[in-house]
Amino acid sequence: MDSSDFTESMLDQLPMERFWDIPLYQWDGFWYRSYHLQATMALRSQYIARDDDIILASPMKTGTTWLKALCFSILQKDETAARLNEETLAKTEEDEPHHSRDPLVDNHPAVYVQTLEVQVFTAKPPPDVSAMKSPRLFHTHLPYTALPDSIKTSNCKLVYITRNPKDTLVSMWHFFNKLRTPEQGPYPFEQAFESFINGVSHFGPFFDHVLQYWNQSLKSPNKILFLKYENLKKDPKGEVKKLASFLGKPFNNEKEVEDVIWRCSLERLKNLEVNKNGIDPWVGMQNSAFFRSGIVGDWKNIMSKELSERLDQITIQKLKDSGLHLEI
């Protein structure tokens, strides 16, 4: 099953498990919602990568929205600076000069950096991405093996971000609970935990996903930049500079770096009107659901010591001999 001929009837041939009462289907070792899988097949058959494409990739709930905002702002920084220079410098009251012409004020980052299998190729018919001007900037949650061959063989660049598995799971738990009614209440965390460690989650298994991109980044460091959420939190300046250089848009001075970090900060984004009250048109979630605490170690507020130790042991075993370290 690797073409645009995918139909609902083909789902009957695939293993199915439920995650948050949502049916997920296993294809080529990973789990998908039906419409994500259909979009993936369309993507694989129709998307032709260009050498100057930039593809962001991530497991769910590992800093995707932050990465989208950062990369968009880095690529737009020269245009943004030019627009700001046109404004009256007298308007220097705190945030005003920055807010007035910043595209992130008007839209959620997902509007500017769309996820291929969630937004772009779920449209009917899909848009003609070949008509888009370069450089094209997209995102995907797909595992490396599911990407179109042209992405792998072209000179386009991939930026991957991941996060420690405990915070990933807890963030996922909070996120999907937004889909539940007050009468239903939160989904039992222990059930979510068991699904996650068994690999049954959107675009999971988590560790297989991470290791695919990690191994490819070791083989092709000029093509794939592998980032960790925790490093971005600890050293935002250093990591954002590294990201900008990788994208071919190095900063000219420290002020530019600080400006991009400020524009894309969780605190700022979550308090913008569009993210406090807007609705994501693709999945029907409130924009605010994409901005929660962003804290490293937030898992401690939910996960028991027993579950934490179980996941630590699984993490150690899964990453053994890979050279990759994720915080536990």
Catalytic positions: 141
Long-range pairs for 81-84: beta carbons < 8 A, 24 or more residues apart: 81/256
Count CA within 13 A, CB hemisphere, residue 259.
Answer: 20
For residues 54 and 135, the answer to whether their CB atoms sit within 8 Å is yes
From the CB of residue 8, how many other CB atoms can be counted at a distance below 10 Å?
Answer: 9
Angle at 264 between CA 271 and CA 280, to 5 degrees: 60
Angle at 229 between CA 241 and CA 84, to 5 degrees: 45
For residues 143 and 30, the answer to whether their CB atoms sit within 8 Å is yes
Which segments of 27-161 does DSSP mark as H helices, in order? 34-46, 64-86, 96-99, 103-106, 109-112, 149-153
From the CB of residue 231, how many other CB atoms can be counted at a distance below 10 Å?
Answer: 14
Q: What is the DSSP letter of 135?
A: S
